Amino acid sequence: MKIMCDFAKISRGNGGGNIKIIIFARFCDCGQLMVFVRNNYSIGQHFAMCCLLLCLSVNTYADEDPEETKPVAENAAKPEKKAKKEQSPDDKPMLDRWAFKTNAVEWMLTIPNFEFEFELSPSPYNRWALNLEAKYNWETYHKNVPSVVFNLFDIRPGFRYYFRQKPRVIPERPRMPENASVQDSVDFIRNSARFCRDSARAERPIKPWRAYFLGGYVDYASYSAKFAPKGIQGNAVGFGAVAGYALPLRAYKNGAVDIEFALSAGFAIASKDVFSHSSDGNYYVRHVDESRGWHFVPYPTVTEIKVAFVWRHISIKDKYIKEDPKIEKLARVEKDIRAGFDNEVKIFKDNAGGSNKERYDAGPQSMLDEFGVVVDNEYQRVLTVVIPNYGLEEADAKVMEKKADAIRKQYLKDFEKEWKKRYAGVLMEAAAAEKTEKKALKQAEKSEAAEKKAQEKALKAASGGDAADAQKDEDAGTETVKVKKVKKTDKNQ
């Protein structure tokens, strides 16, 4: 029933601190009705009542039909509100998204604790949830200062991702290639051991009633503990990871109780004060030299061991089962892409160990080049045939194209590693020959440069000697002329 307060009048009467409240109200669903209330209360009670009436009036005016309370012109100018998102018939109701937990291990340690969990989305395909946990056991009453102390306060928000076991595929048994080399034999032994391990895992029965989860947390804690002559107390801020699984325990008509096993570990920044109990008085003594301020704990610590009882409206065995059709479709596309690459690689390897073995042994580089061509051809087939056949949206198609490119690069990288192992000796010999060839070529270049330098020096020396002889002849001719001039002068005298 909607209630709208049309008028509220507060008047102070002659009776001192009493206030008379006159309220005119109407019930919108039942026509016009006036309610007259007159009470004598204290000022504080009247103030609380006025606040309640104000909130009530605001809420009811917000729910009122705008055509009744506002003019038509104002209605026309106001933009239309966006329609609410339609709820899917498969969406979970609000109650099904909550879970309430308590840890039995901590109750055994006299630590009261409580945790609630809320799923992020009502979608039946949602796997993410947020949780908040609180623990409190602090300063229980004692007439005297106790010699044994155990206090803890911890608040811990976190998140989780739930998943279930999937059917495992038994791998194909490896085969020894014909005319196998030593490296082929080693690979066959390694692949056989891997086949035995994967086959044993695939034969293990799947437990569909279990729901596994991984997640993380941050926490703030205050602690104080003393079980020996010396105790410690302080604060801590930490973060870490949590892992575990949940099992159904008992189902009821309107709910279910599950049991949850989990382990949390992480790092912390903490402070500590070391103290001891004084035997001659009712007080504690703080040891300053052993105490320490805020510091980072350099090693991970186990922060919680959980055996929790959980109440849910729906048992865990019926949750987190449905898969998103879109995700399943993309998974099928990726599976087909990998199957195509696997088939082409298998055919190529079979030929490399059989009909093409001699040719590849003679020229190992051709094997690597041809494998690159095979993988590139398969990649083009995926882009032009496989992905378009599924009719994906443009964004999903681009995602799968990137995925196919990553798969192509991974196959090339893995095959190159195998190729290097297979032809390690040949590659080493080729590298040594190439190194020797480069060294000889470098030595020849040095010899050629030295010879060219010697020739240039000889030419320079030869051209320098001819110039010196010409200078000598010129100097000799000059001296001859001078002697002749001197003799001629003597004759004239």
d(CA 21, CA 37): 7
Q: Exposed/middle/buried for 413, CB within 10 Å: 0-12, 13-18, 19+?
A: exposed
Predicted pLDDT at 29: 41
pLDDT of residue 119: 93
Q: pLDDT value at position 199?
A: 76
> Any idea of the CA torsion for 152, 155, 161, 163, to the nearest 10 degrees?
30
Residue 295: the pLDDT is 93
- Which residues does residue 133 pair with via DSSP β-bridges, in sequence order? 115, 156
pLDDT tens per residue, the chain (493 residues)? 333 334 344 334 444 444 333 343 433 444 333 333 444 444 445 455 555 555 544 444 444 444 444 444 444 444 444 445 555 666 778 888 999 999 999 999 999 999 999 999 888 888 999 999 999 988 766 667 787 888 999 999 999 999 988 777 666 777 777 666 777 777 788 888 887 877 777 667 778 888 999 999 999 999 998 888 888 999 999 999 999 999 999 999 889 999 999 999 999 999 999 988 887 767 888 888 888 999 999 999 999 999 999 999 999 988 888 877 888 888 889 989 999 999 898 888 888 777 777 777 777 788 888 889 999 999 999 999 999 998 888 888 899 999 999 999 999 998 888 878 777 766 676 677 777 888 888 888 888 888 888 888 788 777 765 565 656 666 666 666 555 555 556 555 5
Sign of the CA dihedral with 211 first, then 217, 220, and 226 last: positive
Cα–Cα distance measured from residue 419 to residue 427, given in angstroms and rounded to the nearest whole number: 10
The answer to whether the predicted template modeling score (pTM) of the entire model surpasses 0.85 is no
- pLDDT for 70: 45
Secondary-structure breakdown of the chain: helix, strand, coil percentages, each rounded to the nearest 5: 45, 30, 25
- Residue 360: CB atoms within 10 Å: 20
